[in-house]
Amino acid sequence: MTKILKKSCQKPVDKYIEYDPVIILINAVLCKAQAYRHILFNTKINIHGKLCIFCLLCEAYLRWLQLQDSSSNTDPDDLIRYAKEWDFYRMFGIASLEQTSFFIGIFITLWWMTPEMLKRKSDFILLLKALLLSTYGKLLLIPAVIWEHDYTPLCLAFIKVFVLISNSQAIRVTLNLNRILPWFAIFFGLILENGVVCLFQKMGWDV
């Protein structure tokens, strides 16, 4: 990759160009803005869609597992197995709708607060890719469930907070904003997401 140099000091503008991918990943996990900026603008990562689907599958599996734990029916009948399989697909659909509503809430807030930052279609696409990549923390849901212990609910809460922090950094880096506005957008996104959850609950669905 070609280095971009500052004219004043002839040093790379993006220091992570010279770093090992493992170091970049560690800094991204630590939510360092410059590491996010390098990944979003100076790498050719094209796994946004696949990562999104896999994270949704992880979340759907967690919800489906919790639903099975709350069910006392152990009948091995085929009809019961098909019903359980349908529950997994339903959980995947619900998780997808919740994430979509969360992203829509973020887009609406940012478009309202900073319309100059989201003038073109490419701006929306870049922000969407950044948000999708920043949900990678949901991959931790699987080991948290597999290694189940008394602190699992606390681990799940920490994972949720970590994902939100990653979302905040992705928004901040993509649109070059201060620290407050991304959190305001995330807060509105969570309100819209919880509204969808309440709607499903009123319909009598287990969420």
pTM over 0.75: yes
pLDDT for the residue 139 = 86
For the chain, 207 residues long, give each residue's pLDDT as a single digit of tens: 444 444 444 445 667 677 777 887 888 888 888 888 888 888 877 888 888 999 999 888 888 887 776 555 555 554 455 557 788 888 899 999 999 999 999 999 999 988 888 888 888 998 999 999 999 888 888 787 777 666 677 888 899 999 999 999 999 999 988 889 999 999 999 999 999 888 877 877 666
Which three-class secondary structure string do you get for 18-82? HCCHHHHHHHHHCCCHHHHHHHHHCCCCCCHHHHHHHHHHHHHHHHHHHHHHHCCCCCCCHHHHH
Identify the residue whose tokens are 């807030």. Answer: 109
Asked if 58 contacts 139 with a C-beta cutoff of 8 angstroms, the reply is: yes
pLDDT for the residue 1 = 42
pLDDT for the residue 31 = 83
pLDDT for the residue 14 = 63
Torsion of CA 109, 43, 32, 120, to 10 degrees: -20
pLDDT for the residue 142 = 79
The CA distance from 15 to 12, in Å, is 6
pLDDT for the residue 72 = 52
pLDDT for the residue 99 = 94
